[in-house]
Chain A
Amino acid sequence: MFLPKDPFNVIIGGVGGQGNVLASQILGETLVAQGYVITIGETYGASQRGGSVMSHLRISAKNPFSPLIPEGQGDLLVALEPVEGLRILAPYGNPNIMTLLNTRPIHPIEVISGDADYPEVSKVIATIKDLSSRIWTLNATEIALEMGDSIFSNIVMLGALSSIQVLPIDRQTFQSVIKELLPSRTIEENMSAFDRGRAEVEEVTKNKPVSSRGGGEN
C-alpha cells in the first residue's frame, strides 16, 4: 500500500491516561519497520491524567517534517474519545479528513462538577461525520472493559485502524513491534484486543447509521 499523500498527516487524540502516546509510538514503529520516515509530535504536559492529549504523526516516503501538523492539514483522525475528536477537527480538519472514533465518552471534571454539559454522543458523531469524508466507529473502551481493563482500548483502536485500510499496518509487523515495546506477558492479550478492534469497527454511512453498540453511552 502506498501513501495517498506525502506527508500523510495522522492525529491521535484523547484524554490523558488513555494510552495516546503509546498508540502513536506503536503506529510509528510499525511504519518505520516498512521504510517510512516518521516524525511524531506529542502534546502532553505533566504525567497527570484528565487533560486533552494529542499526537501528530507525519508519514513520508523520504523526509522528516515538523512535529506539528499545520492547521487544516489533518488527513486521518484517530479519536479515542468523542468530544476530543471534535475538538481536534476544529483546527485540523478539512473536507478530506477521515475519522476513526471511539464512541465512549470520558467526562471532564467540568462536566462531573456540573459547570459544563457533555453533549449527546449521537450528536457528536453526526457532527464529526459532517466534517469528515469517511467515519468509522466502535466502542473501544467497552471492548477493553469486557477484556478486563480499559487500558487495552488504545490497542483495540489500532486493530480497528488496521482494518479500515487507510494505512499499511499488517498484523505481523504490529505483533513484532509490540513484542519490542510491551512486557511479554501482555502480548497475547494485546493481540486479542487488536483482533477485536479489527473485527468490530464499522463504517458509518447513510444507509448504515451508528449501531447501538457503536453509539456508546452518555
Chain B
Amino acid sequence: MSSISQNAPGKVALLMGNEAIARGALEAGVKVCAAYPGNPSSEIIGTLAGVADEMGLHVEWSVNEKVALEVAAAASLAGLRGLCAMKQNGLNVASDFLLNLNLTGTRGGLVVVVADDPAGVSSSNEEDSRIFAKLGDLPLLEPATIQEAKEMTREAFSLSEKLGLPVMIRSVTRVSHARGNVSLDELPQSGPKPGFDLSQPRCAFPALPNHRLLHERFQRAKEMSEESPFNFYRGPERPDLVVITSGSGYLYSLEAAINLKIEERVGILKLGMTWPLPEAFVLGYLREAGNFLFIEEVDPFLENNVKELFAQNCFDIGVKRFHGKADGMVPDVGELNPEIVTAAMENLLNVRHLPRPENYSRIAREAAAGLVPARALGFCAGCPHRATYWAIKLALALDGRNGFVLGDIGCYSLGMGPSGFAQMKTLHAMGSGVGLACGFGQLERFGLEQPVVAVCGDSTFYHAAIPALINARYNGANFLLLLLDNNATAMTGFQPHPGTGLTATGDKTPVIDLRAICEVFGASVEVVDPFDVESTVEMILRMIRTEKGVHPVRNPNCCNLELSETSNQKMEKGEIISNGVKVLILRRECALVSAKRQKKLFRIEVDQERCLGEACGCNRLCTRIFKCPGLMWDQATGRARIDEAICTGCGVCTEICPASAIRKEAA
C-alpha cells in the first residue's frame, strides 16, 4: 500500500506526521510498538500495525497507556528498540510507570511519543505534556516539520541508548495530523537478539542513589542538547526581535516574517531539543539581542525555562524584554495559528500587513454571518448512541425522579450536547463516569433520591472502568452502568479492542466478553439492542428501580413518552432487581463500521400523506427533537423527508414518529 515499508532511500513520499514518526521508528530498527488509541496520536501505531508482518515487528493496541509503555519498556530492557505512542491524557495514565522507569534506566532505545491536542479539538482537556519531561528529567524533542518528525524519531532511539533513558517526543495536532513531503532513508536489515541481563536488576528502589544516577544522566543529556542539530538559528546577525519557538510555531513564525516583510529584522531561534534546555546555545542569543518573543503551543514551557536561565545569568547579560503568554502578547490558551503569530510580530515591531482589501473582508464576513447556519458536531446518522440516549431520556422522564447520567470519553461524550439530548451530565477522564457512580451510589443514606446511571463505552471499559466496577461491587455502590458496546474504539478510528476478537495486526484472538467480566464480579447483567427502543426503555426503567423506592411509572404529558400497555403491565409486575451495581449492555455496532461492511439495513421513507407536518403532536418530533441528520425538514411542503445521501437506514426513526409516517422496507 504505502511507502512506509519501502527500502527506497532518497524516495520522496507524502506522509502524515504520524506516518513520518512511524517511518522514523522503522528506520531506527524498532521491534516492539504499543499504544492505546487517542487523537491525535492514533495513526502512529495504526501505520506500524499495517506493516508489522512484513517488517517482523510486534505491534499491539494495549489495554491502556500504562500497559503500552510497560510493553515497550520490556523490549528496551531486553535490548531491543521499543516505541510507545499516546495522546496527552494517556501520559497522565502512563506517568506512574514512566516516573519510576527514569530511575531504573533503559537499555535498548525507548521512545515515548506524546501527541498533544492544543485547544482540545478531540480531547476532554488541553494539556502540555512537556511538563512531564521536566518532572522526570527526561530528554525531550519537538518536531517542527513532517521531515523532522521522521528524523527526530530515528535520532531519539540512539539518544535513548546513549543516555540509558527513555526519550520523549512531543508532537502536536498540526504536526501529527499534517501531511508533507518526506525524503526516506534506509531501513536496517537486522537487529540484536533480545535477552534480559540477570546481573542488572531494574529496581527503582532505593530512590536516592537512583535519583542521583538520573541526575548524572541528565547532565550528559545537557551536553547532547547543546550539540543537537535540531536547535538552530535563522535570521540576521543583529535582530530587532528574536522569536524563540518550537514545534508548530516554527513554520508560522517563518511565514509571518516573510508576509510582514521583516525577515531582515527578525531572527528565529528554533529549538528542537527543548529539554534539557541547550543553555549555552540559548545564552548566546540572549546576550546578543534585547527583545524576545516566545511562540509555542499550550503552556509557556520554553518561556519559563528561558526566563529561569536569564535570571541565573542576568548579572552578566543585562536587561532584556520577554514577550509571550505571561504579558498577554500571545493567548495563554488554545491552538496557535498564523494570525496569532503575525499579530504579535506586528505589535512588537510596529508594522502592518493587510492580506486582502478591508472592503472584501467586511462584505465576506457579513455575507457569511447573514447566510451561514451553525453546524454542530453530532452523532452520525444511524449511530447507536443517538438511540441509546433517546431511550435514556425516555426512561429517566418516565421514572420521574431526576435520574442523571455520569459519563466519560468516547464518541458518546457527545451525549452532553443536543444530539444526545443533553443527557450526559459529567465528563472527565477515561472511566470516570463509573468511578463517580461508585461515590454517588453511596449517597442514598444521606438522602439522595435520584437514580444514578453511568455510561461507558466498550473500549473505555477495558481501559479504565474495570477497577471501578470491582470497587462498586466490593463497597456496595448502587447504580446502573450502561455499557455502550459498539464493537470498536470508534472515536479514534475504529481500532479493535479486547472485546472484538482481533488484534492490532488483524489476527484472531479470544474475545474477552464484556458480559462475562461483569458477571464474574457478581453484577446482574442484561443485554439489549438500542435500536429496539421500547425494550431498551423498559429495561433501563426496570434496572433503576430499587428495593427502597418502587416508583409508579408516570406518563408525562408528551407524545411518545409512553410505554405500550403490555410493557407497562410487565413493569408493574416485573420483579425488582436488588440493590447494588447493575449492568445493561447496549449492543449495536458503530454505524460507520457497519457501513464499511454492509449495505443499508432498510430503505426509509416518510409517507407525505401521513406526516402531520407542523401539526405533529410533539412539534415535529423526528426533526426538532430526535434530530438525526438523515432526516430533513422540507420547508416547501411542511413535511419531514429522508436525505438519501445521509440516511444509513437504521430504522430507529420509524419507532419514534407518533403518526407512523416514517416507514422502513428491507433494502
Contacts and interface: CB of A to CB of B under 8 A. Distances in A.
Contacts of B339: 70-71
Nearest to A16: B377
A47 B367 contact: no
Interface in A144-175: 144-145, 150, 153
B338 A17 contact: no
Contact of B1 (A29, A94, A106, A180): A180
Contacts of A68: 174, 252, 337-338
Given A66-B252, A68-B338, A119-B371, A50 B147 contact: no
A64 B360 contact: no
Contacts of B643: 106-107
17 contacts: A15-B375, A39-B179, A45-B377, A46-B411, A46-B492, A52-B375, A84-B375, A86-B367, A87-B372, A90-B368, A107-B629, A109-B419, A109-B627, A111-B633, A118-B373, A119-B372, A130-B367
A83 B370 CA distance: 11
Contact of A114 (B122, B177, B494, B624): B624
A203 interface: no
Contacts of A71: 338-339, 355
A24 B646 CA distance: 21
Nearest to B488: A47
Closest 7 CB pairs of A and B: A72-B355, A90-B368, A66-B251, A67-B178, A72-B356, A116-B373, A108-B375
A217 B357 CA distance: 33
Contact of A93 (B364, B376, B383): B364
A140 B251 CA distance: 35
Contacts of A131: 360, 363-364, 367
Contact of B364 (A17, A41, A90, A124): A90
Interface in B250-308: 251-252, 254-256, 259
Given A47-B490, A47-B592, A107-B632, A32 B12 contact: yes
A127 B376 CA distance: 23
Contact of A41 (B39, B178, B375, B620): B178
A47 B374 contact: no
A110 B419 CA distance: 10
A46 B632 contact: no
B623 A113 contact: yes
B376 A47 contact: no
Nearest to A177: B14
Given A42-B179, A46-B122, A50-B378, 8 more contacts: A32-B12, A47-B490, A51-B375, A64-B147, A90-B365, A94-B357, A108-B374, A108-B376
A46 B375 contact: no
Nearest to B385: A48
Contacts of A100: none
Contacts of A112: 623, 627-629, 631-633
Contacts of A69: 338
Interface of A: 15-17, 24-25, 28-29, 32, 37-52, 64-73, 83-84, 86-87, 89-91, 93-95, 104, 106-114, 116-119, 123-124, 127, 130-131, 141, 144-145, 150, 153, 180-181, 218
Given A39-B179, A46-B39, A131-B363, A110 B379 contact: no
B342 interface: yes
Contact of B14 (A29, A52, A91, A106): A29
Interface in B321-340: 337-339
A149 to B, nearest CB: 9
Interface residues of B, number: 76
Interface string B488-503: 0011111000000000
Nearest to A41: B178
A69 to B, nearest CB: 8
Nearest to A51: B377
Contacts of A117: 373
Interface in B133-181: 145-147, 174, 177-181
B449 interface: no
A66 B14 CA distance: 15
B623 A114 contact: yes
Interface string B1-28: 1100000000011100000000000000
A123 B12 CA distance: 44
A123 B180 contact: no
Contacts of B371: 83, 86, 119, 123-124, 127
A43 B371 CA distance: 22
B650 to A, nearest CB: 14
B102 interface: no
Contact of A40 (B180, B624, B628): B180
Contacts of A127: 367, 371
B623 A37 contact: no
A83 B378 contact: no
B464 interface: no
Given A46-B491, A65-B255, A95-B360, A32 B181 contact: yes
A130 B360 CA distance: 10
Given A32-B181, A40-B180, A67-B174, A114 B620 contact: yes
B357 A64 contact: no
Contacts of B186: none
A47 B373 contact: no
Interface-centre pick from A94, A112, A218 (highest chain B CB count, 10 A): A112
Which of B2, B174, B372, B644 has most chain A Cβ within 10 Å?
Answer: B372
A50 B629 contact: yes
A38 B14 contact: yes
Interface string B174-210: 1001111100000000000000000000000000000
Contacts of B644: 145, 150
Nearest to B378: A50
B380 interface: yes
Contacts of A24: 179
B518 to A, nearest CB: 27
Interface in B362-420: 363-365, 367-369, 371-381, 383, 411, 414, 418-419
A160 B44 CA distance: 33
A154 B16 CA distance: 20
Nearest to B2: A180
Contacts of A118: 373
A89 B376 contact: no
A154 B383 CA distance: 23
B629 A70 contact: no
A25 to B, nearest CB: 7
Nearest to A24: B179
A194 to B, nearest CB: 19
Contact of A47 (B147, B177, B492, B633): B492
Most buried by B among A69, A94, A124, A144: A94
Given A70-B259, A72-B355, A109 B378 contact: yes
A21 to B, nearest CB: 9
A65 B380 contact: no
A108 B364 CA distance: 21
Given A112-B633, A119-B371, A180-B1, A70 B342 contact: yes
Contact of A116 (B174, B255, B364, B374): B374
Contacts of B338: 66, 68-71
